[in-house]
Amino acid sequence: MVYDEKNTLLMTPGPVLFHPRVYQAMSRVAFHHRTPEYRKTFGECVSMMKKVMQTEKDVFIFAGSGTSAMDAAIVNCVSPEDKVLNLIGGKFGERWAEITETFGAKSIRLEVEWGRAIKAEMVSNAIDNEPDIKFVTMCHNETSTAVLNPAPEIAQITTEKGKLLIVDGITSVGGDYVYPDRWGIDILVTGSQKCLGCPPGLGMIMVGPKAWEEINGREKIPSYYLKLSSYKKAFEKSLDTPNTPAVSLVYGLHEALTMILEEGCENRVKRHRLMAEAVRSGMKALGLQLLAEKGYESNTMTALKYPGGVDDSAFRKGMQKHGVLVAGGQSQLKGKIFRVAHMNIIAEREVLLVLAMTGLVLRECGLKCESGAGVSAAQEIFLKNL
């Protein structure tokens, strides 16, 4: 066997393909975390994370996946009597509702068909119907459907109506435009293993002043590990975390963030958008249809509908046999779509390779298509833009 887990190309929406510099950074001897040496590294991480998240507000890093940061957002801010408008267009918008209900708050679900975007007027109408809604949660870039929801427009509505906006930016921060301070996002969460290009295991959360008012006004936070005031106190006192951090992952994150800032946030977004355009153009040339609503396509990943006669398991196994791992659909989309990520260090080489393999495997699955059309279409995009 030529391809195995050691040399398979990850085109999945997390974990993503990591740069060797990140692995090398993680191989450093793990220093004790209550020392000036480690605190310097951690403090630099938080400072760089603020730059990547485009914020001047508080940012904290947890040992836990992006979902730990989602948990922290709800458990710290939302009281059992609060009404929360959960915007749902996929698996991860749905997760906000599940977390809301887990902590005993009232979830009001605004749901759209998976693959469609949630529009600002829908949010406005929902709040008008339930004016005592206090919080609104949304997934900016819905990982399960590859839909980019209009966060700036939705944030404008929540700001005008005096609601706190909590946003999952797990597959947009570090790969697309996200401006929480400018847009009016009160809490923004992300995770290490997506656009940031670090292995799984770290969650990050940005907390704005209106969110702090809610947090500080509560009598009790029903969490020990994710209590944000403890993180704030520890960091302000000595650049520390209240609990043991994931030292080696922090080393990796430090290097990953360094690389992002070396490239430049604007250049990085432009590259992600170019790769997205090339993937979409190439897949369409192969005769595949995008799941995402036109005009709301993600710039960090693409979801494709299977044409008639192509089996999900056969296709993805075929791709893996040829050394490329893509993701399947989740929940109600299982077996109906496959997802290709183009985030972190994915560029022309990887895009052309995945399009070539997609054409080959579609032919192997019995679909009549011009297997090289995807590569040709993407090349035209690159030739026009690079």
Neighbours of 207 (CB within 10 A): 25
Q: What's the distance, Cα to Cα, between the start and end of the chain in Å? A: 36
Residue 269, judged by CB atoms within 10 A of its CB (0-12, 13-18, 19+), counts as: buried
Structure token digits, residue 222: 């029903």
252: left (phi over 0), alpha (psi -120 to 50) or beta: alpha
Domain positions in the chain: 9-15+264-385, 20-261
The answer to whether domain 9-15+264-385 and domain 20-261 are alike in fold is no
Rounded to two decimals, the pTM is 0.97
Q: What DSSP state is assigned to residue 147?
A: E
Q: Which CATH superfamily is domain 9-15+264-385 in?
A: Aspartate Aminotransferase, domain 1 (3.90.1150.10)
- CATH code assigned to 20-261: 3.40.640.10
36: which residues sit within 8 A by CB, 6+ positions away?
A: none
What's the Cα-to-Cα distance from 21 to each of 27, 324, 333, rounded to whole Å?
10, 22, 36
The DSSP code sequence of 221-241 is -S-STT-HHHHHHHHHHHS--
10-residue mean pLDDT profile of the chain (386 residues): values are 92 96 96 94 98 98 96 97 97 98 97 98 98 98 98 98 98 98 98 97 98 96 97 96 96 98 98 98 98 98 96 98 98 98 98 98 95 97 92
Helix (H, G, I), strand (E, B) or coil at 121: helix
Q: List b or e across 81-119, with b for residues whose CB sees 16 or more CB atoms inside 10 angstroms.
A: ebbbbbbbbbbbbbbbbebbeebebbbbbbbbebbbbbb
pLDDT of residue 1: 74
Write down the pLDDT at residue 386: 74
C-alpha distances in Å from residue 195, one per residue of 62, 258, 260, 269, 317: 17, 13, 10, 10, 25
In this predicted structure, what is the pLDDT of residue 271? Answer: 98
